[in-house]
Structure 1
Amino acid sequence: MTTPATTPKATGALESTQGKTTIADAVVAKVAGLAAREVNGVYGFGGSAARAFGAITERIPGSRSSVTQGVSVEVGERQAAVDLTIVVEYGVAIAELARSVRRNVISAVERMTGLEVTEVNVDVVDLHLPSDDDGADETPAEPARVR
């Protein structure tokens, strides 16, 4: 039988009579970023400059795209707040998407870290249109040669 001091609770899971656990902001940001990416309708993260920089770094051999791009967190001893900057697919109901993102982020962060999530702010900064992808994978035609 466990004693009340060591029984995990939503706001007390990180402290017990046996020690204290601290979780870095970067860990919470990664959990939140991955959870938000799982929601259908989220196209990308960050403002246009951050996305452009991310696109460049992804092409560098050995580099990985950052799961924390567009994710900012504030972590206390028992609570966390999350700010997300996202790009939404055209045609998706933005208010419903934001609710789904909040629900998924809160669930993942609380389950994985034991921290209580006090808020998840979703900042929609752009809308991805299907036409934005047209020609993205095509190589430009070579100019006609003079004979």
Structure 2
Amino acid sequence: MAENTIIDSYKHGKVNIADDVIGVISTIAASEIKGIKALNGTFQDDVLELIGKKNFNKGIQVEMNDNIILVELSVIVDYGTKIHEVAKEVQENVKLAIESMTGLEVAGVNVNIAGINIKNEKDNMK
């Protein structure tokens, strides 16, 4: 995710939006949905976190072609949630957030359910 999208429709110059920015917007939008426990990243993401580097794009891949965006998310959902409803809400929220903040078109938001978080008894007592 090192590429930039250039929006050159402005009178006073160009605006560059890095893929990482789209990834951060996607992360925040996905985490706002009830039933999402976390985003699931790769082994490389886990190693980076172990050495103290925070990765805000964990579990997200962004592809941009001609200012059209495709987002791929891997998430962990809470046990007992309706997975299809949570996934649909994630898709809608991520799409809305990216389009409203950047003005770019989102072609699709693919949600991969990578796992289920099983709450322990201590969590249920809260």
Q: Same fold (TM over 0.5)?
A: yes
User: Any residues of structure 2 matched to 1:67-82 within 5 Å, and which?
Assistant: 67-82=56-71
The equivalent residue for 1:37 is 31
TM-aligned CA distance change 1:51 to 1:43, over 3 Å: farther
Residue number among 90, 110, 113 corresponding to 1:124 in the alignment: 113
Q: CA RMSD in A?
A: 2.4
The equivalent residue for 1:27 is 21
Q: Which runs of 4+ in 1 moved over 3 A?
A: 47-55
Separation in structure 1 between the aligned mates of residue 76 and residue 42 of structure 2, nearest angstrom: 9
| Larger Cα-atom Rg | 1
Indicate the structure with greater strand content: 2
User: Any residues of structure 2 matched to 1:1-147 within 5 Å, and which?
Assistant: 15-47=9-41, 49=43, 52-53=46-47, 56-57=50-51, 60=52, 63=53, 65-131=54-120
Separation in structure 1 between the aligned mates of residue 19 and residue 45 of structure 2, nearest angstrom: 21
Deviates more, 1:20-29 or 1:104-113: 20-29
Separation in structure 2 between the aligned mates of residue 31 and residue 104 of structure 1, nearest angstrom: 10
Q: 1:113 Cα shift? A: 0.8
How many residues are aligned here? 116
TM-score, with normalisation over the residues of structure 1?
0.69
Q: 1:120 Cα shift? A: 0.2
Q: 1:55 Cα shift? A: 5.7
TM-aligned CA distance change 1:79 to 1:34, over 3 Å: same
TM-score, with normalisation over the residues of structure 2?
0.79
Q: 1:47 Cα shift? A: 4.6
Q: Which runs of 5+ in 2 are unaligned?
A: 1-6
Q: 1:75 Cα shift? A: 2.0
Overall identity of the aligned pairs, in %: 31
